[in-house]
Structure 1
Amino acid sequence: MIPWEHLATSSIPGSEGDMKLMRRGAEYSIMLGQIELMNSRLSGSEEALARLSVEKIAGRAAPTIVVGGLGMGFTLRALLAVAPEDARIVVCELVPAVVAWARGEMAHIFEGCLDDPRVEIVVRDVAELMAETQSHFDAILLDVDNGPEGLTSDVNDALYAAKGLGEARRALKPGGVLAVWSQGPDERFAARLRKSAFDVEEVRVKAHRGKRGARHVIWFGTKPDA
């Protein structure tokens, strides 16, 4: 078997751990210690996050979509495939090195999507962007960390707490959608989402594109029109 090659390491704002970029042949992995955060072979649920979110805001003129977390670009590439040509997509990435890797070691995986005219890459905490915005976004997609059960940063945990959910709701236009990706189910988070005055739908999606394998969870919280 081809051994893993360690390509780069980066610190994580708000965390004592380090994030590592690894490669094995054509396969890439981003790891926190011995925990794999994402792998270039697994993209099914992230693609579903993008596709289903766009379906929920279909018909809106020039929608503004925020993505929390760049990762390996699965969500962004899927968004670009289904979002209208007049969409504006703002991607917030907390770790500067992840953006550098996207333009460097993993540029072939991103296939030039960072340079799409609809895309703006912002190196900052998506929570800060939501906190300073009111009734502006049509959709907010959170593909951050491991979902509500975070691994990488205490900063990320605040996104999924009541305060963070309240800020997301205020940042959305009436009828706007908050979409949250998770490694697995979390009843406490689902309850917080409902208490934050969202209309909630929970969807189980395949982690892989194939018929078998693990399933991840996506929550959709819709802000009522009135």
Structure 2
Amino acid sequence: MPHVNDVPLPEGASPGNEGCAAWDGAFRVIYGIERKIIDSDSWVQTSAVQLPDGTLDSAEGPSRSDPGISVNSSWENYLTGSQARQLAAAIIASADELDTWTRERHGCPFSWCTTRPRHTDDQDHWSGITYTTASLRHGDPYHLEGDRSPLTVGAGVAYVEGQMPAVVVHLDGGQYDYDHDAFLRLDEAYELRRALDQAIDHATEAFSHMCDEIVSGAHTLGGDK
């Protein structure tokens, strides 16, 4: 049976004590850099389970764990602004480290790909969705009822090798609890970009008009001529 100690560690990873002895080399827990916050008990660290074939995934055993990031902080105590920025930077650095590990695992050519090949086909690439809030009108969080989440809209990429790549636009949450995907061809995505650029230009013009009206109204109330 292959032993997990025979495969290389991901870049920057260190082996933990869990796994190898108890499970005859069936897996080992590995850790990234422990990023400590100055003058605080808080720290951030990447961890994963490595299998004898070199992959990082879940393993049967007492340390069953998916690749992920541990954020250890005493949330009862306030962080200073400097400490909060350190914590945010540490989370981002650990996320970058985790991205490096997972890309190494399956040799994916795309830096944006978050697909985990032990769960899906190696030829299936997915970027995840980057969201922005939509806070006006039906997206206004003050209009939400019960456990509804704020309305967000986002975009990502889905690509199965051998098939047309798609730009994915996703609408999520809001008053009506949306959960809708739109898969666009590249030409359709470019059309949407042009439509958004035009709409943004028009909305910017309208915003400038609104500001001018406010200033004009303030001058009128102040008796300016």
Q: Which TM class, normalised by the smaller chain length?
A: under 0.3
Task: Tell which structure's C-alpha radius of gyration is larger.
Answer: 2
Higher relative contact order (CA 8 A, sep 6+): 1
The structure whose residues are more often strand, as a share, is 1
Task: Give the alignment's TM-score, normalised by structure 1.
Answer: 0.27
Task: Give the alignment's TM-score, normalised by structure 2.
Answer: 0.27
